[in-house]
Amino acid sequence: MDSPLASFSINVIEDASNRLLLLRRSKKLKWGAGLWGFSAGHIEPGESPDDCSLRELREELGSDLRVEQLTRFGPVRDTLYGGRYEIYLFHYRYVGGAIHLNHEHTGSAWITREQFKDYNVMDGIDEDILYLDIWPRKYLREEKLPKAESSYE
């Protein structure tokens, strides 16, 4: 497989009630403007996926946020853009602290699996939740998931 065009770390934060933290992206952003998504970012040259994950948490959610890592998944290639991007997923448990959004986001929400389909999320969010096996597939948008992926079953 060719080298990826870019690599990203994506942070999925879950609280003790099995709710996920979604962030509403600013309408001024190139990727996912105005949509809901996770804390995430481009892995810089010489930076590890783990360091990128922690940097993005601090930059996007502030230094008061306290989380503990539950799992790490990847790298995987995207299924939406022809496998051109490499993705590392980090699943965190929210431990405490205040959330202080940076300029990239205009809002945040802790959502239940029952509320998930009410949010207009970025492409790939449903797949990230499935990869990490956080919620059953029935709570996700089937049309946003790869077809017949046996690794998800």
CA distance 152 to 12: 17
Residue 151 predicted with pLDDT over 70: no
Average pLDDT rounded to a whole number, residues 40-60 = 97
What pLDDT, on a 0 to 100 scale, did the predictor assign at position 29?
A: 85
Domain residue spans of the chain: 6-141
Residue 147 predicted with pLDDT over 90: no
7 and 76 Cβ atoms separated by less than 8 Å: no
Pull the structure tokens for residue 95.
């431990």
Mean pLDDT of the chain: 92
Residue 149 predicted with pLDDT over 70: no
What pLDDT, on a 0 to 100 scale, did the predictor assign at position 139?
A: 96
Q: What stretches of the chain adopt beta strand conformation (E)?
A: 6-14, 20-25, 36-37, 39-42, 66-77, 85-96, 105-111
Is CATH 3.40.190.10 the right assignment for the domain spanning 6-141? Answer: no
pLDDT-derived band at 150, boundaries 50, 70, 90: very low
111 and 20 Cβ atoms separated by less than 8 Å: yes
User: If 0-12 CB within 10 Å is exposed, 13-18 middle and 19+ buried, where does residue 101 land?
Assistant: middle
Helix/strand number for the chain, H first, E second: 2, 7
What pLDDT, on a 0 to 100 scale, did the predictor assign at position 1?
A: 65
